[in-house]
Amino acid sequence: MSSSGEPGVQSWLQKDVPSLVKDRQLVEARRLQIIEAAVGLFTAQGFHKTTTRQIAAEASLSVGSLYEYVRSKEDILYLVCDHIHAAVESRLKATMSRAKTGRQALEQAVAAYFAVCDDLSDDILLIYQEAKSLTPEARAFVLDNEVRLTGLFEDILARGAADGSLKVAEEAVSLMAHNIAVLGHMWTFRRWYLARRYSLEEFTRLQTQLLLSELSNQKP
One symbol per residue from 92 to 131: x for binding its own copies (CB under 8 A), - otherwise; what is it? ------------------------------------xxx-
Asked if 72 interacts with DNA (CB under 7 A), we say yes
Asked if 51 interacts with DNA (CB under 7 A), we say yes
Separation between Cα atoms, residue 187 and residue 166, nearest integer Å: 25
Among 73, 148, 159, 167, the residue binding DNA under the rule CB under 7 A is: 73
Alpha-carbon Rg for the chain, nearest whole angstrom, is: 19
Contact partner at residue 63 from DNA, its own copies, none, CB < 5 to 8 Å by partner kind: DNA
Q: How far is the CB of 75 from DNA (least distance, A)?
A: 8
Residue 3 vs 174, nearer CB to its own copies: 174
Contact partner at residue 46 from DNA, its own copies, none, CB < 5 to 8 Å by partner kind: its own copies
Half-sphere exposure of 164 (CA within 13 A, CB side): 0
Separation between Cα atoms, residue 160 and residue 150, nearest integer Å: 16
- Rounded to 5 degrees, φ, ψ at 182 are -75, -35
| Residue 192 buriedness (CB in 10 A; 0-12 / 13-18 / 19+) | exposed
Among 13, 20, 44, 169, the residue binding DNA under the rule CB under 7 A is: 20
CB 88 within 8 A of CB 189: no
Asked if 53 interacts with DNA (CB under 7 A), we say yes
Q: How far is CA 124 from CA 104, 119, 156, 186, 218, in A?
A: 26, 10, 22, 10, 31
Q: How far is the CB of 103 from its own copies (least distance, A)?
A: 15
Asked if 21 interacts with DNA (CB under 7 A), we say yes
Residue 32 vs 94, nearer CB to DNA: 32
Separation between Cα atoms, residue 32 and residue 22, nearest integer Å: 16
> How would you label 113-146 residue by residue, b for 16+ Cβ within 10 Å and e otherwise?
bbbbbbebbebbbbbeebbebbeeebbebbeebb
List of residues contacting its own copies (CB under 8 A): 46, 48, 128-130, 132-133, 143, 146-147, 171-172, 174-176, 178-179, 182-183, 186, 189-190, 192-194, 197-198, 202-203, 206-207, 209-210, 213-214, 216-218
List of residues contacting DNA (CB under 7 A): 20-23, 26-27, 30, 49-53, 61-65, 67-69, 71-74
